[in-house]
Amino acid sequence: MPKTVVVGLSGGVDSSVAAVLLKEQGYNVIGLFMRNWDSTTNNDVLGNPEVDDEICSQEVDYQDAEKVANKIGIPLHRVDFIEEYWENVFTYFLDEYKKGRTPNPDILCNKYIKFDAFLEYAKKFKADYIAMGHYAKTSIIDGKPTLFRGVDDNKDQTYFLSQLSEFQLSKTLFPVGHLTKKEVRDLAHKYDLSTKDKKDSTGICFIGERDFDKFLNNYLPSKKGNMVTEDGKIISTHNGLMYYTIGQRKGLGIGGSNDYSGEPWFVIGKDLSKNDLVIGQGFHHPTLYSDSCLVEDVNLINHDVFDNEFIFTAKFRYRQPDTKVTVMHVGDNLLITFTEDVRAVTPGQAAVIYQGERCLGGGFIKEVYKNKEIRKY
């Protein structure tokens, strides 16, 4: 009797091809379309003018998923995880912004929704596994499920999967992890799927491609303040600290000045007590660089203890090149020390640890240091 797999069918090309491949491999495949955000409830009450567009987008995605399911001959169900998303992901997202940090809600969406609430719901179908269209791979090493980077370096999504547990990995299949994006597109054309030329989705999952500042202002009213240099000189004003992240250049709106060089300005820090956005000139401004960080909310995959003499690598942002690091436990947290200074390591972002192609998990950056001193901002 074939094993049953419930695949997250999002209406995109990656999950569409994942479903086809599972069907070809002989699984009993069931499609499940998730709705994690209620535009009417969560936005309309706030007068968001883009609600109708968002509802339309969600419906288009469902219709695309339905076309794929019909094409390959699998059933498709719909499920709402709106309450779970609000409680486990969105409230965290807002709380982090209130603290002046830069959160990554997609990581928690994977941890609590796509690989937790979804996995629990799949029990209704007596599923042996769930499957997603993520670019990642799993393997059993020493009897334990292990997470590896996807073959396509440009699309690898292990950074966003770093908070998954071994149990979640043991129940998950990643059918496209061994493929490049081009190969996925080619397969979608081979099977003539309706999503074969559909544009990849971008942006945070519940915001999509809408104006981020406008969306965030619905939930956290902005508080304008001053843009200042490190020595406190006011250069301009900002629209709200939550709209800026460390290392940012675009959107500062600072023109030329006879008092300063022509080098571009960057965000180098935030002073929450004064509501000041601290800026400095030059991509390589020294305040942007650090040599270590403390990581909290740690999730380790197949690794209970780190030997701090062993060199691992880490990513502190998605698509950032790997950095050589040493890792040491400090209570429940991890102290990650860089072999070379790294630019724009930012509290609230994820630090994800690797051993070659193997993802060992990670956590969220709590504090950033330079020469053993906490970065002031």
Tokens 């300005």 correspond to 265
Tell which residue, 133, 142, 147, has the closest CA to residue 198. Answer: 133
Pairing of strands 225-228, 234-238: antiparallel
8 A C-beta contact, residue 56 and residue 11: no
Q: What is the 3-state secondary structure (H, E, C) of the chain?
A: CCCEEEEECCCCHHHHHHHHHHHHCCCEEEEEEEECCCHHHHHHHHCCCCHHHHHHHHHHHHHHHHHHHHHHCCCEEEEECHHHHHHHHHHHHHHHHHCCCCCCHHHHHHHHHHHHHHHHHHHHHCCCEEECCCCEEEEEECCEEEEEECCCCCCCCHHHHCCCCHHHHHCEECCCCCCCHHHHHHHHHHCCCCCCCCCCCCCCCCCCCCCHHHHHHHHCCCCCEEEECCCCCEEEEECCHHHCCCCCCCCCCCCCCCCCCCCCEEEEEEECCCCEEEEEECCCCHHHEEEEEEEEEEEECCCCCCCCCCCEEEECCCCCCCEEEEEEEECCEEEEEEEEEEECCCCCCEEEEEECCEEEEEEEEEEEEECCEECCC
CA distance 102 to 248: 12
Is 56 annotated in the active site? Answer: no
**Of these residues, 56, 109, 293, 359, which one is catalytic?**
109
Catalytic residue among 56, 205, 293, 359: 205
Residue 359 annotated among the catalytic residues of the structure: no
Phi/psi class of residue 179: alpha, beta or left (left: φ > 0; alpha: ψ in -120 to 50)? beta
CA-CA distance, 197 to 332, in Å (whole number)? 46
User: From the CB of residue 367, how many other CB atoms can be counted at a distance below 10 Å?
Assistant: 15
Which positions are catalytic? 109, 205
